Each structure stands twice: as C-alpha cells, then as structure tokens.
Amino acid sequence: MRPASLLLTLSVLAMPASADPLQIQGTTGYAGEYELSGSVSEQDLNGKKEFSGPLTARHIGLCTRDGPKESIGEIRLELTQSSRISATLDFEGSKCTYKGLLSESYHGFMDCGGEGSLPLRLWTK
C-alpha cells in the first residue's frame, strides 16, 4: 500500500501549480492625480511569461466633482529582468507603453503616442 500512496503523492507534486494573480498598484499624472489598481494573471506565451488583466484608473485629484471618476482598462506586462517590465496600458482606446521598473519608488514615464507621455509608478502589492 505504501508504494501506491507514494506514487499518488508524487503525481500531485508534479502537477503545475496555478500562480496567484499579482495585485498591481500605481499612480499616474503630473501631480499623481490618478490612482491605478488591478489584478493580473500569468500566461505563458511562446516561452515568455506575460501578465494581463483589468486595471482601474481612479481620479483622486483636488478638482474632482461629484466623487472620483473611474475608468476601467487593461494592462499587459512582461517581466524582462528581475523587476524590469515592459507594459501596455489600454484605457478607452488610448494605448500607452511603459518600460521601466516595477517599484513603488521608481518614477518613469509611459508613452501615449500623440497624447504625449505621462509620469507613471507601478508596483505590486
């Protein structure tokens, strides 16, 4: 009976574990007036690990009337080196790209094409 239980245990350990989603936080805007939050799940695409999921941008600036305005978009990011990422943020048809660090203390810029570039900080919670 022992060999059967050992085989069962080994087969359970050999099964790939599903990764928990990463909780993404961040800020954008010249005065940090937008708060970003979302949850991304890992996908393996052609040997590259990519994370994607919904991202909410919430306007928290002083000039907000009638409560904060929220927009829901999508983020796709790829970890390129330890905490370096390459990301695409898509909100209401506007796509922005970002290459930088996934760190609360790192201040980078996302390129939004004809709309210019905006300061961005992204980190995991």
Q: Tell me, what CATH number does 64's domain have?
A: 2.40.128.120
Count the neighbouring beta carbons within 10 Å of the beta carbon of residue 25. Answer: 14
Name the one residue in this structure whose structure tokens are 């937008």.
34
> What pLDDT is recorded for position 60?
87
Is 88 a residue whose pLDDT tops 60? yes
Which domain does 112 fall in, by range? 22-124
Whether the predicted pLDDT of 124 surpasses 60? yes
| Position 9 in a domain | no
Give 59's strand partners.
34
Half-sphere CA count of 99, side-chain side, radius 13 A: 2
Domain count, the chain: 1
Residue type at 46? Answer: N
For 8-29, the pLDDT digits (tens) are 333 333 334 456 899 999 999 9
Is the entire prediction scored with pTM above 0.95? Answer: no
Q: What are the tokens at 69? A: 């305005």
Residue 11 per-residue DSSP state: H
Domain-embedded: residue 1:
no
Does any domain span residue 116?
yes
Whether the Cβ atoms of residue 76 and residue 88 lie closer than 8 Å to each other = yes
Q: Is residue 50 part of a domain?
A: yes
